[in-house]
Structure 1
């Protein structure tokens, strides 16, 4: 599987540009602020239907313009597949596969497996639990459409339950029967999602540990721990036990929407006790494990986007990544970098076909 070519119209800082890619290594090089990351984000956009860096869809339209279009041609299992994503101000975003519009974007998730490694991944360590849940859900959803479907339903019903709790507070009323309906629905979805997340983490941890050891070459131990209220009890019981609290807060305080992943080094939070180098190694291992997990599950090598990571890595870690490219671990690779010579030296050492785009 690989991306053959892409055309961008009014996307971020691009007015109109066309790129044709090789099946192995493609590099965007140039100064900061020139659009290297935007080019990678356009590829991510085609795979997922959204930007990795800016969730406000309309802000991805070039300043002063009314619309954007991203048009890409992929080769997947020896078939050409055209994916087009477009947005016009004041209208809904449109995603098409071979000229057929998706009714739901969720139907497209997983069709083009992709992993991005970016400096912004540090949010996984420094931000709150929502960021880490999104990482976990993103990996599972690329491989399991039923999981994504049930997750969307859970979030929808939870929003309705929260709205009901606010209604109760504003109107000084309380209807146990109505709330019970939402509780039972949430419990049904939560049990399924909880089991799927446990299953994922159990399979993911050994892969993550292997990559962390390879990248660091050290003996330090790292831990990836799944935390959930549902380890204590089923959701129906938890909701009933916490109803007084929920009424006071006006939202649902327990459930799988509060799940988290604890990132630890030697049994201490890496956010507080890990050096910058240790945090960096943890994140790269996490993303390389994501790559391998998806590859093992779907039988395709995901497209891999390296956004400006050579600035953040020492020679040892770069050498490890080059080693993985040479071992044919990766499929198609996209790299952004500020140093053309450094990039060319790194990709030449892989002895793979490559193409460099100077922006």
Structure 2
């Protein structure tokens, strides 16, 4: 998959920008605040229909404007496709492929797979389990449309069950039979999600360990453990056992919406023991493993977005990452950096066709 062109109108700080890209490496250089990361975010929108920074769509409309538009020309190996995303202040977000609107946003996910490596990845280690669940869901959704459908249905069902629990508390009554209606879809969708999360996590652990060893040249053993209520109990049993607890709390306390990924180094939580360098190496290994797995499962080479990471890595890790990029044939790459000289040196070492855009 190759992005040939990108157009941004009223997107974040960009009134209008247009780019014609190299099929291999594209670099955006300039001082902090000029909007380099915002261009990468526009590319991420083409892939995932949302910001990788977690911003709400309306907040990405340029100040004092009424809409933003992102348009990309994408070569899928057979033909060029036009992806257009538009968000107006007073309307729903629209995504079109070749002038035809998607019936559901979810139908677009997986067409243009992507992986981003950025300074914000450190949140995966420091934040709550919610950020790690979202990351896991995004990884799997790019390779499995059924997973995304099940996830959306599960989340809707949890919201409905929670709303009923709150309604019971507000009106001081309780109807267990009425609440039980939601158990069947929760179990059906939740069990499928659990099984796919577990399988996917197990499949990337050996990849992460291999990449980590190459990047860090370290002797530490890293791993990921998938933590879920469903590891030890059937979902139906959990819902029945925690019925009274859910009634008191007014929300569904058990289920795959409480899952987490535990990042470990030598059997101990990485958050507690790993240095910044070790954490960075692990996170890059995690993202490269994601890329490898997407490519294997979809037969599509994801675009690779590298946001300001060369400023955060020492020379050894930069060299190892560049060697991996060469070795693995990662496809089209987009890089942001504050230093044109450093970027030019990095590109020379990768030894591919490149374009540098100064913002």
TM bracket, shorter-chain basis: over 0.9
Distance in 2 (CA, whole Å) between partners of 1:229 and 1:351 is 48
The answer to whether structure 1 residue 229 and structure 2 residue 234 are counterparts is no
Q: What secondary structure sits across from 1:304 in the alignment?
A: strand
The answer to whether structure 1 residue 149 and structure 2 residue 156 are counterparts is no
Q: What secondary structure sits across from 1:330 in the alignment?
A: coil
Q: Which moved more, 1:181-190 or 1:304-313?
A: 181-190
Query: For residue 309 of structure 1, what is the aligned residue in structure 2?
Result: 309
Judge conservation of contact 1:29–1:36 (CA < 8 Å) in 2. yes
Distance in 2 (CA, whole Å) between partners of 1:310 and 1:144 is 32
- Residues 39-188 of structure 1: pairs in structure 2 closer than 5 A: 39-188=39-188
Judge conservation of contact 2:6–2:73 (CA < 8 Å) in 1. yes
**Which stretches in structure 1 are left out of the alignment for 5+ residues?**
none
Distance in 2 (CA, whole Å) between partners of 1:263 and 1:321 is 21
Distance in 2 (CA, whole Å) between partners of 1:113 and 1:235 is 32
Judge conservation of contact 1:54–1:60 (CA < 8 Å) in 2. no
Q: Number of residues paired by the alignment?
A: 359
Distance in 2 (CA, whole Å) between partners of 1:187 and 1:235 is 6
Query: For residue 244 of structure 1, what is the aligned residue in structure 2?
Result: 244
Distance in 2 (CA, whole Å) between partners of 1:322 and 1:51 is 26
Shift in Å at residue 328 of structure 1? 4.9
Q: What secondary structure sits across from 1:310 in the alignment?
A: coil
Shift in Å at residue 254 of structure 1? 0.3
Query: For residue 293 of structure 1, what is the aligned residue in structure 2?
Result: 293
Q: What secondary structure sits across from 1:184 in the alignment?
A: helix
- RMSD after superposition: 0.9
Q: What secondary structure sits across from 1:206 in the alignment?
A: helix
Query: For residue 23 of structure 1, what is the aligned residue in structure 2?
Result: 23
Shift in Å at residue 55 of structure 1? 2.7
Q: Which moved more, 1:246-255 or 1:183-192?
A: 183-192
Judge conservation of contact 2:208–2:223 (CA < 8 Å) in 1. no
Q: Which moved more, 1:347-356 or 1:321-330?
A: 321-330
Distance in 2 (CA, whole Å) between partners of 1:31 and 1:198 is 42
CA displacement 1:178-233 (0-9 Å, x = unmatched) = 11111122011111111111111121111111111111111101120000000121
Judge conservation of contact 2:305–2:333 (CA < 8 Å) in 1. yes
The runs of 4+ residues in structure 1 deviating greater than 6 Å are: none
- Residues 210-225 of structure 1: pairs in structure 2 closer than 5 A: 210-225=210-225
TM-score between both structures, scaled by the size of structure 2: 0.98
CA displacement 1:279-327 (0-9 Å, x = unmatched) = 1111111111111110111111100000000011111111112212322
Shift in Å at residue 157 of structure 1? 0.4
Distance in 1 (CA, whole Å) between partners of 2:276 and 2:319 is 19
Query: For residue 343 of structure 2, what is the aligned residue in structure 1?
Result: 343
Distance in 2 (CA, whole Å) between partners of 1:195 and 1:328 is 29
Q: What secondary structure sits across from 2:311 in the alignment?
A: helix
CA displacement 1:118-172 (0-9 Å, x = unmatched) = 1011110011001101111111110110111011000000100000110111111
Query: For residue 325 of structure 2, what is the aligned residue in structure 1?
Result: 325
Q: What secondary structure sits across from 2:182 in the alignment?
A: helix
Shift in Å at residue 71 of structure 1? 0.7
**Which stretches in structure 2 are left out of the alignment for 5+ residues?**
none
Distance in 2 (CA, whole Å) between partners of 1:345 and 1:186 is 53
Q: What secondary structure sits across from 2:85 in the alignment?
A: strand
CA displacement 1:221-266 (0-9 Å, x = unmatched) = 1120000000121111101101111111110000000000001111
Q: What secondary structure sits across from 1:264 in the alignment?
A: strand
Distance in 1 (CA, whole Å) between partners of 2:143 and 2:222 is 26
Query: For residue 254 of structure 1, what is the aligned residue in structure 2?
Result: 254
